[in-house]
Amino acid sequence: MQVTQLKCGGIIVGCTFDHRVADAYSANLFLVSWSELMKSEILNPNDQVTSRIYYVTGDKIEHLQLLANCHDDQKGTSQRSKLESFSAFMWKTIACGINKETWGFNNFRFGIVVDGRTQLIINNVDKSLKGYFVNVLSIPFGEKKVEEVKEKSLNWVANVIHEFVDIAKTQEHFLGLIDWIEAHRPEPSMAKICAMNGDGPAVVVSSGQHFPVKKINFGWGKPALWSYHFPWAGKSGYVMPMPSPKGNGDWIVYMHLLKWKIELIKASPYHVFKSVTANYLNLI
């Protein structure tokens, strides 16, 4: 299903059915029910999850990393990564647009996806994990007051992110996670940040920086654009930065967030995010 609003004001509604499951009569029943639901008060258009794709130039990413490290007065502290710096900017950008009196949010949760394969392979736990086809991920997160994220520096926010990510980037963390899953099998499990219905919004940043673009060719050349989409339930949105097909250090950033979060990001005075166009992708 897809609903697209045109610049001229019109709306295109698209829906795909598998004829092995439903006939035209059944499809009509669905469309009528769907339209009735859209008109009801059950759905608030301001609370709907939407998707956008932007690009961020390499110099902007480097600038964010510089800001995330420039006030670090802790001697011997490792430099914050580009992903940590970018995530800190995302956290602050959304938080700064939240009016506590209007929105009623007190807290804001922010998570980062950590790849367990890398940690376990580095520590020689199991080399076969390179070909292991299943989830080996953890989503550590932090929860802070919205006002605190607003007021603190980007460096402070990046340090908060680094602290909770660093805890999960250990062999012990993932071995413990594996034990927990085995103990609760076959009950399904979900990352805590995705399941919580706490006081305030939640965002998860993943990373598609290792997308194997050089190995993917279906016979007609290198892809012009690539991204990941995970249609998970709930309102914990996610952001997926990936390398630009230009190969110049830019990032393609896929966002699957509540509409009001997208609007806050678009309204940011720093103009970090730019819309992906055919010209940018060298398709014209």
pLDDT at position 255: 92
Residue 154: which of 205, 91, 240 has the closest Cα? 91
How far, in Å, CA of 122 to CA of 117, rounded?
8
Catalytic residues: 19, 217
Instruction: Determine the structural domain holding residue 57 and report its residue range.
Output: 51-275
In a domain, 243, yes or no: yes
In a domain, 283, yes or no: no
Q: At 238, list the tokens.
A: 């996610």
| pTM over 0.85, yes/no | no
Same domain, 8 and 121: no
State the CATH number of the domain containing residue 193: 3.30.559.10
- More confident site: 195 or 266: 266
Q: Which residues contact 238 (CB under 8 A, 6 or more apart)?
A: 203, 204, 205, 206, 230, 232, 255, 256, 257
How far, in Å, CA of 190 to CA of 211, rounded?
24
Taking only the tens place, the pLDDT of each residue in 9-42 is: 567 777 787 777 777 777 777 777 777 655 543 4
Taking only the tens place, the pLDDT of each residue in 238-262 is: 999 999 988 899 999 999 998 888 8
pLDDT at position 171: 77
Same domain, 36 and 173: no
Q: At 183, list the tokens.
A: 């103990």
How far, in Å, CA of 31 to CA of 13, rounded?
10
Taking only the tens place, the pLDDT of each residue in 189-203 is: 677 777 666 567 889
Same domain, 139 and 250: yes
Task: Decide: 67 and 80 in contact? Cβ < 8 Å.
Answer: no
How far, in Å, CA of 88 to CA of 61, rounded?
12
Same domain, 71 and 36: no
Residue 209: which of 240, 179, 243, 181 has the closest Cα? 243
pLDDT of 107 strictly over 80: yes
- Average pLDDT over every residue of 153-170: 91
pLDDT at position 249: 93
- pLDDT confidence bin for 76, thresholds 50/70/90: very low
Counted domains in the chain = 2
